[in-house]
Structure 1
């Protein structure tokens, strides 16, 4: 069902891949892209479980908006292995204004489709989704 505000539907593959990441840990990350012509959010790329955070950030275009989900593993101060699922709304300053508006207006509805997101990050510059930022938000 399309969102009245932005007219963007969410492709079923987005939800399926997210469920696989969340429950089976099949992927380390998923990058989503809005296909304007099809008026829907689609899966652009998935990252294998052994891929690093650097692999993830290298997969995001520097000058185009994207949504992304990253499964971050970490060890707590009490030495417990934990994981947090991050939702990252990437909207770089040098992206097209129209694109930024479409991504901004579609974000909340898209995020609601992905049940299980624990931390949300809004980033307009690579430093805003630096690994140190992820670590500080995960704890």
Structure 2
């Protein structure tokens, strides 16, 4: 597994090539609905934790996030405008639940900007500490 250094982050995390590849497959090929990323503290890497198939929903993404660990996620939100045009907006979500460790929250906070720079094409960002802060209604409201 090849590694590439993320753009300058204070945490010094490395990103696997799989991170960007999975994002590009979601963005351009539409083979994934979402990608969940995880920081591995010991190896100092950002890795792909889970990918959601094209047929999966936002609820599937929300259900895949751990209740006591932080994660990053990107979600491809497809919708139809009032003019009947199909549109797609990509959301970057920082999941930092209250039950996660303080050190983990700090690592995710300091590594976010480097990952975001690599994932080119994100339209909106959400930060959530509980499921209500990232409800599907918030996605729909932001996209339109």
TM norm. shorter chain > 0.5:
yes
Aligned to 1:30: 35
Please tell me the root mean square deviation across aligned C-alpha atoms, in Å.
1.1
Aligned to 2:118: 113
Corresponding residue SS for 1:120: strand
Report how many aligned residue pairs link the two structures.
139
Deviation at 1:5, TM superposition (A): 1.0
Deviation at 1:75, TM superposition (A): 1.4
> Unpaired runs of 5+ in structure 1?
none
> Unpaired runs of 5+ in structure 2?
none
Corresponding residue SS for 2:32: coil
Following superposition, which runs of at least 4 residues in structure 1 exceed 3 angstroms of deviation?
none
Deviation at 1:77, TM superposition (A): 2.1
For 1:74-109, what per-residue CA distance to the aligned partner results, in whole angstroms no more than 9, with x for missing partners? 111222211101100111122100000000000011
Distance 2:9 2:132 in 1: 33
For 1:14-50, what per-residue CA distance to the aligned partner results, in whole angstroms no more than 9, with x for missing partners? 0011111111111000000001111010000000000
TM-score, structure 2 as length reference: 0.93
- Match runs of 1:49-68 below 5 Å: 49-68=54-73
